[in-house]
Amino acid sequence: MNGLQFDPARPMDLIAVGRLCIDLNANETGRPMEETMTFTKYVGGSPANIAIGAARLGMRTGFIGKIADDQMGRFIRTYLQKNGIDDSQVSIDRTGAVTGLAFTEIRSPQECSILMYRDNVADLLLDTEEISEDYIRQSKALLISGTALAQSPSREAVFLALEFARKHNVTVFFDLDYRPYTWKSAAETAVYYNLAAEKCDCIIGTREEFDMMENLYHAEGGDDKATAGRWFSHQAKLVVIKHGGSGSISYTADGQSHRSGIFPAKVLKTFGAGDSYASAFIHSLMQGATVTESMRRGSASASIVISRHSCSDAMPTLEELENFLQANEEVDSAADIRAAL
């Protein structure tokens, strides 16, 4: 058992809150960004990608966020609508803020980087007045991510959403999504991440992201079991710690641990893996799958996305995910894949 509960009477499956932006992915792979001349435009932002992935898998999803009053903002709204995501709580900024941009560089499958433009972006201007208690209580689950905590008023809006979720027994997923360039200091980052995590039922992140949170109160990180235990002393019932090419480990509050490996993939780029993992993992849990099976399906979804050019557009449908699982076997680590080649 994973300890998570989802009210079947709620009309919405998952509501995400936070970053909506534009990804501009390099078309010329194997070259530095200085030499890259063309890019393809996609909707981006971790919570947006997860919501899109969940919708592709058949979940009834919605989004709480803010977009710029510009062409890019309109592109984002249209894309959400085309993917069946309820955008009734996506507001339009009227202050002249812009849409955040993320340019990606794909030098090789192992060398990928992102150049972010995050000054005066609309998504960080989401206000508490734009958080509807009635909307949140209609959902089985709420998803938050770390980037929305980086600045006010978005930070306060997320904490209000968390309060409404707790009040109405909405299960909360926290995808850590740590982006250092949106924060002023390591201490500020850790403080707000910890405060948010204390209110969440399931926390998903990399070992490095959990270390960032723990460095505030002790110098040594890296102990997965101790990390999980800290959050079980608060609200958490499930903690997922990702170790890249070595797979993932999950802990449940009843003392159980669950491991998953990875799937072979023809890797094009590394970004997008975490978002696709989260979408399939959350979908599987909410469909009643075990933690181990949910992790397995998350890993499969991640392998699909890292073999494709985009993040949001690459999110698999349920049929694509099932076909991939039937055709591929999970292995323990990237080292095992290399040994088999």
Average pLDDT over residues 156-166: 98
Q: Minimal CA–CA distance to 203: which of 229, 238, 227?
A: 238
Confidence tier at 339 by pLDDT (50, 70, 90): very low
Tell me, what's the pLDDT at 56? 98
3-state secondary structure of 66: strand
The residue assigned the tokens 């949170």 is 213
Residue 152 lies in a domain: yes
Query: Is residue 3 domain-resident?
Result: no
pLDDT tens digits, one per residue of 209-228: 999 999 887 756 678 999 99
Assigned domain for 2 exists: no
State mean pLDDT over 68-72: 97
CA distance 88 to 186: 35
**What distance in Å separates the CA atoms of residue 214 and residue 326, rounded to the nearest whole number?**
39
Report pLDDT for 220. 64
pTM of the shown model: 0.94
Residue 10 CA to residue 134 CA, distance in Å, equals 12
Tell me which of 86-100, 244-258, 278-292, 322-336 is least confident: 322-336
pLDDT > 70: percent of the chain: 96
Cis peptide bond N-terminal to 47, omega within 30: no
273: pLDDT confidence band, cut at 50, 70 and 90?
Answer: confident
Question: What domain range is 36 assigned to?
Answer: 12-340
Q: What is the mean pLDDT of residues 21-36?
A: 90
Look over the chain and give the mean of its residue pLDDT values, rounded to a whole number.
92
The whole-number average pLDDT for the span 90-107 is: 93
Q: Name residues whose C-beta falls within 8 Å of residue 322's C-beta, 6 or more positions apart in sequence.
A: none
Instruction: Give the lowest-confidence range in 23-37, 146-160, 277-291, 322-336.
Output: 322-336
Most confident of 112-116, 297-301, 330-334: 297-301
Report whether pLDDT(144) > 60.
yes
Residue 120 lies in a domain: yes
Q: Considering the domain boundaries, does residue 6 fall inside one?
A: no
Q: Tell me 154's DSSP state.
A: H
What DSSP line would sit under 183-239, residue for residue? -S-HHHHHHHHHHHHTT-SEEEEEHHHHHHHHTTT-S----HHHHHHHHHTTT-SEE
Structurally, how many domains does the chain consist of? 1
* pLDDT tens for each residue of 277-310: 999 999 999 999 999 999 999 999 999 998 888 8
CATH of the domain at 197: 3.40.1190.20
Supply the pLDDT for residue 333. Answer: 57
Cα–Cα distance between 11 and 9 in angstroms, integer?
A: 6
Q: Flag whether 40 is in a domain.
A: yes
Q: CA-CA distances (angstroms) from residue 273 to 44, 205, 299?
A: 13, 12, 8
SS3 label, residue 36:
coil
- Proportion of the chain in helix, strand, coil states, percent, rounded to 5: 40, 25, 35
> Is residue 36 included in any domain, yes or no?
yes
Locus of tokens 């960080």: 124
Please state, in angstroms and rounded to a whole number, the distance separating the CA atoms of residues 324 and 225: 31
- Give me the pLDDT at residue 219, please: 59
CA–CA separation, 62 vs 64, rounded Å?
Answer: 7
96 lies in some domain = yes
Measure the CA angle with vertex 122, ends 20 and 96; round to 5°: 145
SS3 at position 24? strand
User: Do residues 304 and 276 lie in contact, with contact meaning Cβ atoms separated by under 8 Å?
Assistant: yes
